[in-house]
Amino acid sequence: MFLFRMALKNLNRHRRRTFITALIIAFAILIYILTEGLMLGMTEMSFSNIINLESGHLQVANQNYWDERKELPLKNLIEPSEEIERKIEALSGLQAYTKRLNFSVNLNNGIDELPVKGVGINPEQDGAVFELQKHLVEGRMPQAESSEIIMGAKLAELMDFELGDYAVMLIRTPDKTFNTIDGEIVGLFNTPHPSLNENNVFIPLTTAQSRLDIDNQITNYVLRMESQDSGLTAAEELDRNLEAPLAAYSWKDTAESLVTMIEMQTIETQVILAIILTLAAVGIINTIILAALERMEELGMMKALGLHEREIVYIFMGEAAGIGFIGGVMGIILGVVGLFIFNYYGLDISAFTGGGDVTYGFPISGTVYAGWELSSFIFVFVYGMVVSILASFFPAFWAARKDPVKAIYHR
């Protein structure tokens, strides 16, 4: 307790110096909190975009299809059956499900051709699982059984299409035979999921099935659950109940590359934190050395009065811990204020990607809002304290080892 009071008094002796050193730590913590907040915000937004617009909470597909799904093959499709649907309906936490068919399309406007992804949707059920309708900027959703289509406003602009135009969709049946669909554009959407806006065309499922000569086959079932977590547990449960080659895939399986990317980003944020705190550590070392030099006579006196070297080290470490604590508290207050501002105004992504559509691989666009996570606050606070204490160890040890006689006659 005596040592602790000593450390506290020492902290109080040079308030300005303490404050400035603590400020460095506070600054490091602020940067970490903001970066982490941005990362969390982007992650949350990415996942919700993927869930709400691309994959739902979980999907049922043929395992062999799943591995090649990016190629949009018309092999290993699912024959919808009551048995599968019974198993889906038995899941707890299920809100809705729908059938979808993904296929490859060459979109033609009479001048140019563009390869895009065609998605057959069931207009009656799709809205209960996906949020596409919410993002319509013009027109309406296609009607069942019709050849009406909707596409991203961006894609339409690129291909010079307008609402009411007919787009020729050149497709190939499983026999590789060409077929065409003259799709009437009845709606344009602009979602926060960039790839959806750029290369997806939606058409009623039955129309797609009949033109592709695949009877009533689909590529996947998509399910909406109560929450993201129930999607994960339900995927496991359903996967056990389904017979091979059918399998259930959660939203995390869909966003596999995104998950990897986020892991990489987390490491990146840690590295940034480590670098900034190392700089802060240099500040602390400097402060401790200064304090030690200043109080050399005092140290000599204390040692002469019987204080152990260990105890002197404790005093300095306590002082550093104090700086770390003050810095941590300031950093967290600054971070909370920063995050609040960030969350209130949001951050327009296009502003820091130069107005372009570059999103560094994240399936997001528009305005990002910061995410919050208590654990990251605790982590960064503790980390800041630990770095401060460790940084003080060597200068404190150096000061404590001084011969008391020489220390007293320091000058």
Partner 1 sequence: MKLRANKILNLTFFIIIITVVLFSQQISAGEQLGAEEIINRRDDNEYIITAYSEAQMIIKSGGRTQVKEMRAWQDQSNSLAEFTNPRDRGTKFLKRDDDIWMFFPEAEDLVKISGHMLEQGMMGSDFSYQDILESDKLTDLYDFELLGEVEYQGRPAYKLEGVKVPGKEVSYYRRIVWIDKERFVGLREELYAESGRLLKEAEVLEVEEIDGRWYPVHTVMENKLRENTSTEFVVKEIDFNIEIDDSMFTLERLR
Return d(Cα 117, Cα 201) in angstroms, integer: 6
Which of 1, 2, 16, 111 contacts partner 1 by CB under 8 A? 111
Residues in 346-375 that interact with partner 1 by CB under 8 A: none
193 binds partner 1 (CB under 8 A): no
Site for partner 1 in 209-228 (CB under 8 A): 211, 213
| Selected binder of partner 1 within 5, 9, 110, 267 (CB under 8 A) | 110
* Residue 240 in contact with partner 1, rule: CB under 8 A: no
Calpha distance 225→236 (Å, rounded) = 13
Sign of CA dihedral 324, 386, 37, 350: positive
Shortest Cβ distance from residue 183 to partner 1 (Å)?
Answer: 12
Which residue bears the tokens 């060459």?
Answer: 106
Pick 168 or 301: Cβ nearer partner 1:
168
The residue among 83 and 112 lying less far from partner 1, judged by its C-beta, is 112
Among 15, 176, 240, 411, the residue binding partner 1 under the rule CB under 8 A is 176
Shortest separation between residue 179's beta carbon and partner 1, angstroms = 4
Residues 61-100, mask of contacts with partner 1 (x by CB under 8 A): ----------x-----------------------------
To partner 1, the closest distance from the beta carbon of 166 in angstroms equals 12
Q: Alpha helix locations (H) across 111-255? A: 123-129, 153-158, 194-199, 205-211, 228-241, 251-254
Closest distance to partner 1 from the beta carbon of 164 (Å): 20
Which H or E element spans position 3? helix 2-13
With binding defined as CB under 8 A, does residue 195 bind partner 1? no
First-to-final CA distance of the chain: 31
**How many angstroms separate the Cα of 234 from the Cα of each of 1, 84, 94, 226, 315?**
54, 14, 9, 10, 55
Q: How far is the CB of 247 from partner 1 (least distance, A)?
A: 25
By the 8 A CB rule, do 206 and 144 touch? yes
Query: Rule CB under 8 A: is residue 158 a binding residue for partner 1?
Result: no
Q: How far is the CB of 65 from partner 1 (least distance, A)?
A: 17
Name all contacts of 268-273 with Cβ < 8 Å and 24+ positions apart: 269/32, 269/35, 269/36, 269/39, 272/31, 272/32, 272/35, 273/28, 273/31, 273/32, 273/35, 273/380, 273/383
Q: CA 150 from chain center: how many Å?
A: 29
**DSSP class of 280:** H
Is residue 11 a contact residue for partner 1 (CB under 8 A)? no
Which residues of the chain form contacts with partner 1 (CB under 8 A)? 71, 104, 106, 108, 110-113, 115, 168, 170, 172-173, 175-182, 211, 213
